[in-house]
Amino acid sequence: MVEPTDHTLAATGGELLSIRGLSKQFGGLTALDGLDLAVRREEIRAIIGPNGSGKSTLINVISGVYTPTAGEVVLDGAPITALPPHERTRRGIARTFQTIRLFKALTVLQNVLIGRDCRTRAGLLRTIVRSPLARQEERQAREQALAALQFVGLADKATWEAGKLAHGQQRLVEIARALATDPRLLLLDEPAAGLHPVEVQELMALIRTVRDQGRAVVLVEHNMRLVMDISDRITVLDFGKVIAEGTAGTVRGDPRVIEAYLGRGAAAAAAHLLGPPA
């Protein structure tokens, strides 16, 4: 396995997302515990860890689905901790979900057009009366949605009902809808779930292209080969805390990571889970 380079070390612009002292409690359960995280611009940052380590909770806090119990979320220097999800989308955060969330009876294009709503300015009245601004925004939204579908390779399926697509194609529609919002930060929650190996390879190429276009990607994923191949940096969580961070080569052999996944004395089994040393 080829060790990925830290693409962002040479990138300019510094941090895009900064998380400081983040905690999230559900009753007596602490899902995140004083977590600090910084994501650079033009970086693929993977978040991994055993089940229950807080990965999806972190994505939900960043996107505004959950309000943190303590701590701060800062996007491009501006605190967004108190903002609702739709305002975070306007600021440049988009996401996909662990379980596919499409409007199955709508067309593929209609699903992606929903992502453009956050960029419209016409308002309800102008839209009803079909004002020039509303018509212009409608044309632009359609162009942007079609461009997003072209990017993920589904432009020829624009008129299909979303529910009639194969599982992997539905995953791509979700990514297209997220990209249609013009995000600076794309959050992907287990995008490879249910994909066959060829689709995983195509997904990896797609994520790299998203990064190379100038966006940051935060990726929660259980497919360790995907994570190790494409991540610029990897953050490992256990019981809501960061236990390791760095490139794939650094994280792969960290005893704390091996123990979190496999328990004490399991170093010999690490290659099976995380791949051979770089």
pLDDT, tens digit, 9 for 90 and up, residues 132-167: 666 677 788 888 899 999 999 999 999 999 999 999
User: What's the CA gap between 141 and 135, in Å, rounded?
Assistant: 10
pLDDT, tens digit, 9 for 90 and up, residues 10-31: 344 589 999 999 999 999 999 9
Higher pLDDT, 57 or 269: 57
User: What's the CA gap between 190 and 219, in Å, rounded?
Assistant: 7
- pTM of the entire predicted model: 0.85
Q: Is pLDDT at 104 greater than 80 in this prediction?
A: yes
Domains of the chain (ranges plus CATH)? 1-92+221-278 (3.40.50.300)
Strand ranges in the chain using DSSP code E only, listed in sequence order = 15-26, 29-40, 44-48, 70-75, 78-79, 93-95, 185-189, 216-220, 233-238, 241-246
Two structure tokens written together for 248:
């794939």
- 177: Cβ–Cβ under 8 A, 6 or more apart, which residues? 102, 111, 112, 114, 115, 148
